[in-house]
Amino acid sequence: MAGGAGERFWPLSRQRYPKQLLKIAGNRSMLTEAARRVEGLVNREDIFVVTGNLLRDAIIAETSGIPAENIIGEPEGKNTAACLTLACAFLSQRYESEPDVCMIVLTADHFIRDVDSFTRDATRLFECAENHDVLATFGITPTRPETGYGYIETGKTIIDHPQVMRVASFREKPNLETAIEFQRGGNFLWNSGMFVWRNSVLRAAFKQHLPDMEAQIPALTAAYKLPSPDEALAEAFAPLQKISIDVGIMERTHNAVVLRASFDWDDVGTWASLGRLLSSDIENNVQFGNAALVECSNCIVYNADSTQQETHLPLVVGFGLEDLVVVQMHDAVLVMPRDRVQRVKDIVAHLRDSGREEYL
């Protein structure tokens, strides 16, 4: 799934060059890293990217080696349940002779270093999903009392898959006190937003919990069989509800299971993520690009263009600063407290409401 705008990474992330195309934590874009990560599980011709129509050409250019016809354009952004309804229909048409394919659902903005452990864990969930009618997900052992993630409460293990547990409940993003309790309890995991299931099981879940969305799958599937599907796709996609797969299905279903991941994981969701992904100095400062910090502590300074090509951005110098995030682009500068980076989306909303969309 690569359709999000990544607004919490503004001003680096923009509508036509969102987070998944950025080289935030390395020499390759996050989308390229996500595609490379699954090469040990599936062939390249079996990798599909769902994104907005506005981004389709940029995604095709970025994902060399993945066939252009595997880049699926959404007529409009409607959250992850609609994205996966479209994927369900597309795969039903693409694998018509194998109607019950097993899929792994990933996002384009996760950071995972230990690819070997990820591959082993994913293989275990594939085996479970192929043998049971379950909606499987990866749970991440909390390393801090995080209030920006949803949590999964674990239940009993599955007998023939002892590392896979039933989901007792899904919990929304907690306050700090509750997050501390979850971390101490040991039976709560972060909800990673990555899934494994058979296409038929996903469709059955839609039919039970989001029946109006499931009812559109035949029309979406039929549209993909047309020489020019865009108009029929838009018409069939329009009635889909705007809701996440977590709220629409996972929090309601009784056949969810979870594997405690053995790999490292980070949802690169805000500028604070760079404090975990990039090296810091003795005062816990993170610097990227043309920057210098003097007598500063716990600051993040990012001064580079979107593609990290050679630029002539002015030097950013901080003196005597604490707990700040500073991001400089060619046309915008962001300065805000490090502990309030979740509010970048409010800044984007303010710019949009103020008619300053040239900066978005």
pLDDT for 102 equals 95
Assigned CATH class of 7-267 = alpha beta
- CB-CB neighbours of 190 under 10 Å: 23
Strands 333-337 vs 316-319: parallel, antiparallel or unpaired: unpaired
Over residues 149-178, the pLDDT tens digits come to 999 999 999 878 888 999 999 998 999 999
pLDDT for 306 equals 52
Average pLDDT over residues 284-295: 92
Over residues 325-355, the pLDDT tens digits come to 999 988 899 999 999 998 999 999 999 999 9
Hey, where are the domains in the chain? Answer: 7-267, 271-359
Over residues 55-91, the pLDDT tens digits come to 888 899 888 789 999 999 999 999 999 999 999 999 9
pLDDT for 313 equals 79
pLDDT for 241 equals 95
Over residues 2-25, the pLDDT tens digits come to 987 778 889 988 887 888 888 876
For the chain, the average pLDDT equals: 91
Confidence of residue 148 (pLDDT cuts 50, 70, 90): confident
- Whether the full predicted model's pTM is greater than 0.75, yes or no, is yes
Q: Write the DSSP assignment of 56-125 as a string of letters.
A: HHHHHHHSTTS-GGGEEEESS--HHHHHHHHHHHHHHHHTTTSTT-EEEE--TTEE-S-HHHHHHHHHHH
pLDDT for 274 equals 87
User: Which residues, in sequence order, are CB contacts of 303 under 8 Å at separation 6+?
Assistant: 288, 289, 290, 291, 313, 315, 316, 326, 327, 328
Over residues 185-214, the pLDDT tens digits come to 999 999 999 999 999 999 999 999 999 999
pLDDT for 26 equals 67
pLDDT at 310 over 60: no
pLDDT for 97 equals 86
pLDDT at 299 over 60: yes
Q: Write the DSSP assignment of 311-346 as a string of letters.
A: --PPPEEEES-BSEEEEE-SS-EEEEEGGGGGGHHH
pLDDT at 123 over 90: yes
pLDDT for 58 equals 87
pLDDT for 352 equals 93
Give the 3-state secondary structure of residue 20.
Answer: helix
Give the 3-state secondary structure of residue 293.
Answer: strand
Between the alpha carbon of residue 66 and those of residues 36, 63, 69, 123, 182, the distances in Å are 10, 6, 8, 22, 40
